[in-house]
Amino acid sequence: MPRARSSKKRRKLTRKTTKKKKSSIRKESIKKRKAATLKELKGLGEGVYSQMIKRRFPSLKIPSRSTGNIIYDDRLGQYRLDDKSVTRSARNIRHIRPFTQLVWTASFTHGLSKTGKTSTLRDIFYSAQAFEIDFQNQRESDNIITDLETILGHSREEFNVFPEERSAIFGDLTIEYTVKGYEGIRTNLTSHPDGFMIGPALSTAELISTKANKVIVIEKGAMFTRFVEEQAFKKFKAILIHTAGQPPRLTRYIIRRLNDELGLPVYVFCDGDPWGMAIAITIICGSANAAHLSGLTTPEATWMGLYSSDIQKYDLPSERLKEVDIKRLYDMRKDPRCQDEPWKTQISHFLKHKRKCELEAFSRYGLDYVVKKYLPDRLA
């Protein structure tokens, strides 16, 4: 049982970190982080330039993202890249194209970051045409942006390339914007009951103060609205986040920041099926796709349901698992991220009883049951 032991060790380790963090909230501000990314982008350009001055073919070293170089780090509780790296050199004729694309992308995003403008993956693909940089399709430009993330070790949001999808946040948290035109302006996130969109402005705001003592992350909009209406955010002193299915990266980033900078524990609350579990796992342990990044996962977050065992315990309306659900569960049983509790037990339970259940199923006991009964049970 070396797995179980190492994961216990991990949890102890992270708990200690939390304590430390709570007493001295991380001081590194968003402004500093932005400045650091900008500096690294500039450094990349300077590296290329200085090689050329020395009359050498410029080259760049990129950590390898091939499957063989992705390992699950038990101590970190997430996937990460191992030591292998590849060199992309202008000397190699097959490298010239991606090398040029990469340098242009670095220069373009440096411009974005400097002027405080944002962009999306799709936008970058089209923007390249203005510079006569040839991307055959968006997959090619997306790949180059991932290369850039890998070199810098920063996610693309940090150099102003944001996702299209948005989710929402609500709760007693005062933020201070850092985006152009809004610098220094503060907003408290209880002031709009439908929730605030998590976009470029919110994710780059400084987190100023909160009276909340936890974060509750919810998969479904209906449940999010219920929590606001039933004043659950007050009762539980919680900041609420609505992921709208698999959380976009910005949302995972803000969850991490709430945990990291404010020391708030995070509870993730999803449908009782393998897809709900997958959302929780992505928030807690990240995905293999993002093994080259570390700022998007929240290893200290807790999956709080729905468990397979809750379906029986609370006698919830449920449906039979489909073939595709069962296949997903078998995959999860082998997944290194699911070797701890409660994952192990719940996966077995799902496979034994073969039932699934949505968050809304609690409505059979009345609209406020989940807030008045289930949540206090689970938090206790």
Counting beta carbons within 10 angstroms of the beta carbon of residue 16, is it exposed (0 to 12), middle (13 to 18) or buried (19 or more)?
exposed
DSSP state of 370: I
- According to DSSP, the residues that pair with 218 across neighbouring strands are 242, 269
Site for a second copy in 158-217 (CB under 8 A): 162, 164-166, 168, 177, 179-182, 185, 187, 191-202
Site for a second copy in 267-326 (CB under 8 A): 317
Residue 244 CB, nearest approach to a second copy (Å): 8
Q: How many CB atoms lie within 10 A of CB 45?
A: 14
Closest to a second copy by CB, 178 vs 302, is 178
Closest to a second copy by CB, 119 vs 297, is 119
Residue 14 CB, nearest approach to a second copy (Å): 30
- 126 is a catalytic site residue: yes
Size of the site for a second copy (CB under 8 A): 54
Cα 164 from Cα 55, distance rounded (Å) = 42
How far separated are the first and last CA of the chain, in Å rounded? 28
Q: Measure CA 277 to chain center.
A: 15
For 67, the 3-state DSSP assignment is: helix
Copy the structure tokens of residue 135: 């991307």
- Cβ-contact 309, 346 below 8 angstroms: yes
Cα 285 from Cα 282, distance rounded (Å) = 5
Residue 304 CB, nearest approach to a second copy (Å): 20
Closest to a second copy by CB, 53 vs 130, is 130
Site for a second copy in 328-347 (CB under 8 A): none
Binding a second copy (rule: CB under 8 A), the pick from 38, 70, 71, 222 is: 222
Strands 214-218 and 266-269: parallel
Closest to a second copy by CB, 291 vs 359, is 359
Binding a second copy (rule: CB under 8 A), the pick from 42, 363, 372, 378 is: 363
Closest to a second copy by CB, 125 vs 236, is 125
Kindly name the residue from 49, 126, 182, 330 that is annotated as catalytic. 126
Residue 354 CB, nearest approach to a second copy (Å): 19
Site for a second copy in 99-128 (CB under 8 A): 116-120, 122-127
CA distances from 102 to 83, 97, 257 (A): 21, 9, 29
Residue 130 in contact with a second copy, rule: CB under 8 A: yes
- Cβ-contact 167, 80 below 8 angstroms: no
> Which of these ranges, 6-14, 75-83, 339-347, 365-373, lies near a second copy under the rule CB under 8 A?
365-373
Cα 290 from Cα 219, distance rounded (Å) = 21
In which element (H, E) is residue 168 found? strand 168-170
Spell out, one character per residue from 241 to 260, where the chain touches a second copy: x when CB under 8 A holds, - when not. Answer: ---x----------------
Torsion of CA 327, 269, 166, 285, to 10 degrees: -60
Closest to a second copy by CB, 72 vs 369, is 369
> Which of these ranges, 147-155, 222-230, 280-288, 306-314, lies near a second copy under the rule CB under 8 A?
222-230
Which of 164, 121, 126 lies closest to 146, judged by CA?
121
Residue type, 97: R
> Which of these ranges, 12-20, 225-233, 321-329, 330-338, lies near a second copy under the rule CB under 8 A?
225-233
Closest to a second copy by CB, 74 vs 358, is 358
CA angle in degrees (0–180, nearest 5) for 62-68-69:
40
Task: Kindly list the residues in this chain that would bind a second copy in the complex (CB under 8 A).
Answer: 116-120, 122-127, 129-130, 162, 164-166, 168, 177, 179-182, 185, 187, 191-202, 220-222, 225, 229, 231, 244, 317, 358, 360-367
The residues carrying an active-site annotation are: 126
